[in-house]
């Protein structure tokens, strides 16, 4: 009966048949991530300042302080905060006055292409690189038409796009370049901050991200003249109490979110170091498993340490990604098929030639192979070892 209290009935039945190793089973669930949370007393202290000021939103002092701190951390000159990453990307695209078609990746979170939809822009899907799972720069140029106005890349799992080649193509055809950097907070490339590249980069500060403001996001951008325009767009287009100069939204980061962000930012470097150790542990225990390939290989300043992601080649491993995903659940370990499904497979894109499966062979393969494993600073090395033992013993 003691075993039954740990296992659900189905797991108990599998255990009795020898299908589950009780020594590896986790009593408490191991989730894909855990939010980085500051000390509550530190948050209370900052909140008292907000309560005293009675300034809860609309460009308050906490938001201004966070904006300044993030400019320093991300090494960028221009940054604008938003209530979430989706709003940031949506209004960033709006600020650039884009029209027509935008070349983008099918292998991304829905928000990337949804931001295009809400701007009446047509996504043109390009296949991805088999190693980084970012846009394959070699496939972009053939998709450019007279309607193309921009390229929207995604730094997938923190793996940077081929930014130099993409910029050469953009310069040749006079296109804007926007990056979805939701996974790339703190990433550097060629000793330059990731926000240095392209015309604009969006960062997400969702609770699942390395740095969070519970919900939130930001845009970094090269054109300083966009500062005022973005400020208007995220505040209904209101220029002053008696003048509305353009059509905007309510997409401001509030003072409470900013307080959380200021305290979380103090913890980020320690969290990165912890995740580095966990990453090394995963790599050590999985290094000789046939068919298991680590996708998130970057380290140090080059890495965001956002996710630890593997790619499973069923022919070599002997089991599918979906099988492993479900098997780990039996041990109370929750992984994520991330990204799944492909955005190009959404029914409202069925009519697009670029969305046809035959045009996206690498993406169609990757979406069936990729699995994000539990990854956060509080994850114990012993837990990593047990997770990897399930993966290894499943061969």
- DSSP state letters, 96-143: TT--SEEEE-SSS-HHHHHHHHTTT-EEEE--B-TTT-SB-GGGTGGG
Residue 14, SS3? Answer: helix
Instruction: For 138-177, write each residue's pLDDT tens digit.
Output: 999 999 999 999 999 999 999 999 999 999 999 999 999 9
Q: What is the mean pLDDT of residues 17-23?
A: 60
DSSP, res 309:
E
In the prediction, which pLDDT does 18 show?
47
Query: Could you say which of 209, 229, 279, 386 is catalytic?
Result: 209
Q: How far apart are CA 131 and CA 140, in angstroms?
A: 17
Average of pLDDT values for 104-129?
98
Q: How would you class 240 by CB atoms within 10 Å of its CB: exposed for 0-12, middle for 13-18, buried for 19 or more?
A: exposed
pLDDT value of residue 21: 75
Calculate the CA 162 to chain-centre distance.
Answer: 17
Percent of the chain with pLDDT over 90: 92
Least confident of 1-10, 79-88, 294-303: 1-10
- Please, are residues 363 and 128 in contact by the beta-carbon 8 Å criterion? yes
Mean pLDDT over each residue of the chain, to the nearest integer: 94
> If you write DSSP's letter for every residue of 244-285 in order, what string do you get?
E-S---B-PPPHHHHHHHHHHHTTHHHHHHHHHHHHHHHHHH
pLDDT at position 20: 55
Query: Is the Cβ–Cβ distance between 186 and 69 less than 8 Å?
Result: no
pLDDT of 23 strictly over 90: no
pLDDT of residue 24: 79
Q: With DSSP H G I counted as helix, E B as strand and the rest as coil, what are the percentages for the chain, rounded to 5?
A: 45, 15, 40
Closest CA to 49 of 37, 68, 64: 64
Mean pLDDT of 346-370: 97
Q: How many CB atoms lie within 10 A of CB 168?
A: 12
Dump pLDDT digits (tens) for 323-351. Answer: 999 999 999 999 999 999 999 999 999 99
Does the pLDDT value for residue 2 go beyond 60? no
Is 209 one of the annotated active-site residues of the chain? yes
Question: Helix or strand or coil: residue 288?
Answer: coil
Contact status, residue 351 vs residue 297, Cβ threshold 8 Å: no
Copy the structure tokens of residue 328. Answer: 């780990």
Alpha-carbon distances of 228 from 95, 128, 322, 323, 357, rounded to whole Å = 10, 35, 47, 51, 42
Predicted confidence at residue 16, as pLDDT, reads 40
Q: Are 372 and 336 in contact (CB under 8 A)?
A: yes
Report pLDDT digits (tens) over 254-282: 999 999 999 999 999 999 999 999 999 99
pLDDT band at 301 (very low <50, low <70, confident <90, very high): confident
Among 15-19, 165-169, 194-198, 269-273, whose mean pLDDT is lowest?
A: 15-19
CATH class assigned to 40-265: alpha beta
Is residue 6's pLDDT more than 60?
Answer: no
Please tell me the distance from the alpha carbon of residue 82 to that of residue 260, in angstroms, as a whole number: 14
pLDDT at 46 over 90: yes
Q: Distance between CA 241 and CA 258 in Å, rounded?
A: 24
* pLDDT value at residue 319: 97
Hey, what CATH class is 2-30+267-335+374-393 in?
alpha beta
Identify the pLDDT of residue 12.
Answer: 43
Question: Cα separation of 118 and 91, whole Å?
Answer: 10
* Domain-wise residue ranges, the chain: 2-30+267-335+374-393, 40-265
């Amino acid at each position: 009966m003691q075993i039954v209290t740990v296992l659900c009935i189905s797991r108990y039945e599998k255990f009795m048949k020898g299908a589950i190793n009780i020594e590896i089973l986790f009593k408490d669930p191991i989730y894909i991530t855990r939010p980085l949370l500051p000390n509550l007393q530190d948050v209370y202290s900052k909140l008292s300042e907000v309560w005293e000021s009675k300034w809860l939103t609309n460009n308050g002092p906490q938001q201004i302080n966070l904006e300044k701190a993030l400019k320093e951390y991300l090494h960028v000159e221009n940054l604008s905060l938003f209530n979430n990453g989706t709003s940031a990307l949506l209004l960033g695209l709006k600020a650039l006055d884009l029209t027509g078609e935008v070349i983008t990746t099918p292998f991304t979170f829905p928000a990337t292409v949804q931001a295009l939809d809400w701007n009446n822009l047509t996504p043109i899907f390009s296949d991805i690189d088999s190693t980084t799972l970012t846009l394959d720069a070699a496939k972009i140029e053939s998709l450019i038409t007279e309607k193309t106005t921009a390229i929207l890349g995604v730094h997938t799992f923190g793996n940077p796009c081929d930014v130099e080649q993409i910029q050469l193509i953009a310069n040749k055809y006079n296109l804007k370049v926007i990056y979805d950097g939701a996974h790339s907070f703190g990433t550097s490339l060629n000793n330059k901050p990731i926000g240095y590249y392209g015309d604009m980069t969006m960062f997400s500060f969702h609770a699942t991200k390395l740095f969070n403001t519970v919900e939130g996001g930001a845009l970094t951008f090269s054109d300083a003249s966009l500062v005022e325009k973005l400020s208007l767009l995220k505040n209904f287009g209101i220029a002053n109490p008696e003048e509305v100069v353009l059509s905007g939204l309510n997409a401001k980061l509030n003072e409470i979110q900013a307080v959380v962000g200021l305290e979380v930012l103090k913890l980020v470097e320690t969290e990165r170091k912890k995740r580095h150790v966990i990453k090394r542990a995963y790599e050590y225990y999985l290094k000789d498993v046939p068919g298991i390939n680590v996708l998130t290989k970057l380290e140090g300043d080059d890495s965001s340490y956002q996710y630890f992601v593997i790619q499973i080649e069923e022919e070599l491993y002997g089991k599918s990604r979906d099988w492993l995903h479900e098997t780990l659940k039996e041990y109370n370990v929750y992984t994520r098929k991330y990204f799944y499904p492909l955005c190009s497979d959404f029914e409202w894109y069925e009519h697009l030639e670029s969305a046809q499966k035959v045009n996206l062979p690498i993406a169609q393969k990757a979406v069936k192979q990729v699995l994000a494993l539990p990854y956060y600073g509080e994850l114990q090395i012993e837990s990593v070892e047990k997770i990897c033992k399930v993966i290894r013993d499943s061969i």
